[in-house]
Amino acid sequence: MNCPNCGAACDDGDRFCNKCGHLLSEPVPTVPQTTKPSRVFCLSCGAVITPGNRFCEQCGAPVENNTHSQPVPTSVTTSTPETTSTPVTTPHVTPVAADVGRTAGRSLSTPVIAAIVAAVVVVVAIAAFLIIRFVGSRDADATAPGASNGAASSQSAPKPDDAGDKSNAAKTCTSAPEGKVDSIKSIGDGVIASVRFTSGCDAGTFSSKDVRVTLTEDGATVADAIFDFTKEPITSGRSGRTIELSYPFGSYWRSADHLTSATSGIDVKVATGATPASDSTSGVGSALAAASVPDADANGAAQTAIQWQIANDRNAANGFMTTITTQLSSKRDGLDAEGKTWHYQDIYEQYLTMKAKYPNTLLVDSSDWPTYRNTGTTGWYVLLSGESFPDTGSASSWCAAQGMSKDDCIPVDLQ
């Protein structure tokens, strides 16, 4: 049959509509029961559950699968075989429509609240991550090479070079470093210059072969050689490093004594891609070995050095206008003698050799002194021992004591 109130289908014998709770028929006297309907209790808190409730009114726990029932004795008037006229009283149950008004004002349990809060936190975190990623990708697209006026570029941004992740020391610096002389010392017949180098690059390492390091004084070359800096690389980012450079005999054009005392006035020039005179190198002590510069450059530096030395020795030579000294050699450029052709480099090397053996050795130009002009022997570079003698006999005796013949060692005055 159907409910006259809501039209819901009901089973025959139902007294109330299972949808709206409408009374379908008047109570029919039945045989009295000895017990009231079982009461339902909440398993969570033990409270009595009102029939039809889906949640416990005390703790909010779901009623389904969370209750137990217990029959409750009741005293009712029952009919007996002897008494048939006493009416039967049936317990009245107020119908409750399902889900109507049961959630209003109900407090939720702690586990339910915690679950809801956790879900909200997860949703917010996911949303924030997606927003940040979206904004970041837009910024990257805006700065990528090839993007113009906000339009998407058909060319993706280039990947960084692997070297970009490495330290500055792994990068290559091609600019020549700068140098400053710290000191110069003499070892054997060569000199060693300690030079403080600083990188010519903001980043990277200078490590090149055929690097020409020229030492100058007042613009004139006083030492010049070519070095392999792959053995002594210079890295940027440092305050600099000191490297000892060899200048063997023939690659410097001042006396060792002068160079060791004049370091403050010596400048350093560094050039890359130099061409050495040969593949051979030579070193002084433990300093970085050197290769020779081209012969023409060495010869030009020697010619300049000869003129500087002549001017430097003029005052000392004036002392032999009235006394006697000895002449050790006389040469000029292009002279064929002693089995070779003499050039400025050879003449200057002979001067350095004599200076090392006889510390008072002087270099003069014969054209500057009367004794040579009077005999027509001008244009010669003359080496004088710088030793002073009272007469020619004493001078000749000195020459013999040095193991030199009368042709190689001659008493002379410059008057």
CA distance 268 to 180: 6
What is the DSSP-derived secondary structure letter of residue 241?
Answer: E
DSSP result, 94-161: ----TTSSSSTTPPPPHHHHHHHHHHHHHHHHHHHHHHHHHHHHHHHHHHSTT-BTTBPPSSPPPPPP
Q: Report pLDDT for 365.
A: 98
CA distance 61 to 270: 90
> Quick one: which H or E segment has residue 393?
helix 392-401
Q: For residue 56, report the phi and psi dihedrals to the nearest 5 degrees.
A: -65, 130
Each residue's pLDDT tens digit in the chain (415 positions)?
788 888 888 877 777 787 887 787 665 444 444 445 567 777 878 777 888 788 887 888 787 656 555 544 444 344 434 444 444 343 333 343 334 333 334 445 566 566 676 777 777 778 777 766 665 555 544 444 443 343 333 343 334 333 333 455 568 999 999 999 999 999 999 999 999 999 999 889 999 999 999 999 999 999 999 999 999 999 987 678 999 999 999 999 999 999 999 999 999 999 999 999 998 999 998 999 999 999 999 999 999 999 999 999 999 999 999 999 999 999 999 999 999 999 999 999 999 999 999 999 999 999 999 999 999 999 999 999 999 999 999 999 999 999 999 999 999 999 9
Q: How many helices (H) and strands (E) does the chain have?
A: 6, 17
Alpha helices, H only, 295-343: 295-317
CA distance 227 to 210: 6
Q: Report pLDDT for 224.
A: 98
Q: Report pLDDT for 301.
A: 98
CA distance 145 to 122: 37
Q: What is the pTM of this model?
A: 0.60
CA distance 207 to 230: 4
Q: Report pLDDT for 12.
A: 77
Q: Where are the domains of the chain?
A: 31-106, 108-140, 171-293, 299-412
CA distances from 176 to 153, 170, 235, 341, 414 (A): 40, 17, 12, 37, 49
CA distances from 245 to 76, 196, 229, 255, 300 (A): 125, 11, 11, 17, 22
CA distance 341 to 233: 40
Q: Does domain 171-293 have CATH number 2.30.30?
A: no
N- to C-terminal Cα separation, the chain: 160
Residues contacting 144, CB < 8 A, separation 6+: 153, 156, 157
Shortest CA distance to 106 belongs to which of 40, 53, 42? 53
Q: Angle at CA 352, nearest 5°, toward 347 and 353? A: 95
Which tokens hold the place of 160? Answer: 């960084």
Burial class (CB in 10 A: 0-12, 13-18, 19+), 29: exposed
